[in-house]
Structure 1
Amino acid sequence: MSNSQMTQPTTTLPPDDLSRKATIVHADDPGLTHLGVGAGTYTILISGEQTGGRYTMIDMLVPAGGPPPHRHDFEEIFLILEGELEITFRDEVHHVGPGQSINIPANAPHGFRVVSATPARFLCICLPAGQEEFFKLVGEVLPTRTTPPTPPTPEVMAERRGIMLANAARFHSEFLPPRG
């Protein structure tokens, strides 16, 4: 194939959107949003606002536990950096560790829990974006990526659960009854 054949456009692409900038970020950069969600600390690395709503990327540091079984209408990818997760996907259990990735298709029932003796750290990419806005509603703002959330009182837990349930449909999510 000649160079002229390789550069011939096969479709017409829209023009470059010069209002959008490249995003270069380190998980410990000042100015990032760090949220206590459950037992974990979630750092929004790249927001939907920065990607035109295409995706969001969140650095998750979770010492124990995980979310209840749920499903949502967006794709979710986990890239494990440290620790190990047990991910239940459509009633099938998968163990994933450092260097492994798993894609959870939209609408599929799933959940995870940390099974390593040390905290799990992983990147979560949601396509399209929006999940970071849900976490902002239910999370506690924290000063750093490694600051653990304040252990919630029963009243705070009930309040956050109410917020989660009241906003699940708005964020295209559904919480499922525990299995087993």
Structure 2
Amino acid sequence: MEIMFAKPTHNQDLQHLHQQAFGRANSKEKGVVIGELVKSLLADPTAAPRHSMIAVLQDIVVGHVLFTRVHIEGVASNIAAQILAPLAVHPDYQAKGIGGKLIMVGLDELRKSKTQLVFVLGHPGYYPRYGFTPAGVCGFEAPYPIPVEHASAWMVQELVPGIIGTIKGKIRCAKTLHHPEHWRE
């Protein structure tokens, strides 16, 4: 398996991959919504800089992770932060470590690009394996309210040691992602 940056020629495959991954795990409708979200994020200038990474196995795209820019309201604009949204692995290739590999390679690329913080709204039993911790208790407010029972799903990881605790604020995402329907767990 090879992990690499996605190219614009992969965009249609990525949309289809997310439709399959989220459609099987949740519902066909959810798969379509996430597929459209990916398509829109890849075209959204407010999401740049973005890091779009794919997992390729025998010339087939079997996984994808997308990191897009976020701002922290009230914090100097020199803080480089991204959000991981979404991550998908084709249903036939899940539970084989592909998602984790995409996350780790993606985080390495973000470190190289001098990104300081990475956020995610995701499963609190999965993302902590890769260094994510609850963001709310660190002073980072999600773009839209997260119900108390799902607060641990809003997470952050510092890529520059010691930055958490020196800043806090409300996160502002790319226009495509900054809608309440994307913030329901």
Normalising TM by the smaller chain, what interval? under 0.3
Higher strand fraction: Structure 1 or Structure 2?
A: 1
Larger RCO: Structure 1 or Structure 2 (Cα < 8 Å, ≥ 6 residues apart)? 1
Higher helix share: 2
The TM-score, its normalising length taken from structure 1, stands at 0.28
